Amino acid sequence: MQNNKIQYLSLLLILLLLIPDRSFSQDVEQSYPKQIGIGLKSGITSSLIDVGIPVQQMSSTFVPTVGFIFTYIHAKTVGIQLEANYISKSWEENPISDYTFNTKLNYIEIPMLTTLHFGNRFKFLINFGPYISILLHEESSHNIAQESDYYPFYENRTARKGDFGMTGGAGFRLQTKIGLFQIEGRYTYGFQNVYDVDASNLDYSNLKTMAFYLSYQFSFSDDY
């Protein structure tokens, strides 16, 4: 099973590299001005988890995130975007009204995105592609009684050291003489179980995250 996951992720990465270079080769031949952007991004994220047990209520608050962003635009309607983000994914579960489980997982997350963009200086853009995450720190607590039927699902939750999945979103990019300004909304879904199936007694545990980002990049462009 683990080998299948690695092969699947490898296929996604290969497709990510092939789409800009092959599907849009005609745009490259037209000598569209190349553009490189390097900068910083910040935003807010809200995360929840799909788990294989009934949960009466699940909630999450928006938490800040920061990171680095790199873009390479080499065709009229396509480019690539790479990021390295420090992101916290936290949520609260209430299996029943008197019981609470809280957790916070801090990751370095690396999305590898294909960008489709439409417009001139002001562009509408769509980003999509795979990501990988490396767990830095985990915090969790609960007040679930040992005699409860829910106890086995919460006592032995220890997050895996990493995650991977797909992410996608849309936004706008403004190209100016002082750099690139970008705003974007994004949805992320993890393919790997966050918690080990045997230890946690959960059939599945997949993270999903909504995010809103702002970024600024120094621009190195052929047409400025």
Residue 16: which of 27, 5, 26, 8 has the closest Cα? 8
Residue 83 has pLDDT above 80, yes or no: yes
* CB count in 10 Å sphere of residue 150: 18
Burial class (CB in 10 A: 0-12, 13-18, 19+), 71: buried
Range of the domain at 142: 2-221
Residue 32 to residue 97: CA distance in whole angstroms: 59
How large a percentage of the chain has pLDDT more than 70? 84
DSSP string, 99-113: --EEEEEEEEEEEEE
More confident of the two residues 198 and 24: 198
DSSP string, 138-197: EEEEE---TTSTTHHHHTT--B-SEEEEEEEEEEEEEEETTEEEEEEEEEEEE-S-SB-H
Confidence of residue 31 (pLDDT cuts 50, 70, 90): low
Which of the 8 DSSP states describes residue 22? Answer: I
Confidence of residue 57 (pLDDT cuts 50, 70, 90): very high
187: domain CATH number is 2.40.160.20
pLDDT tens digits for range 91-114: 999 999 889 999 999 999 999 999
What angle (nearest 5°) sits at the alpha carbon of residue 39, between those of residues 35 and 41? 125
Over residues 9-24, mean pLDDT: 50
Over residues 16-22, mean pLDDT: 48
More confident of the two residues 78 and 27: 78
* Tokens 């949960």, located at residue: 55
Residue 105 to residue 47: CA distance in whole angstroms: 10
Residue 75 has pLDDT above 90, yes or no: no
The mean predicted confidence, pLDDT, of the chain is: 87
Residue 77: which of 27, 25, 9, 141 has the closest Cα? 27
SS3 track for 57-95:
EEECCCEEEEEEEEEEECCCCEEEEEEEEEEEEEEEEEC
How many domains, in total, are found in the chain? 1
Residue 166: which of 134, 188, 194 has the closest Cα? 188
Q: How far is residue 139 from each of residues 90, 104, 118, measured CA to CA in Å?
A: 9, 5, 42
Confidence of residue 164 (pLDDT cuts 50, 70, 90): very high
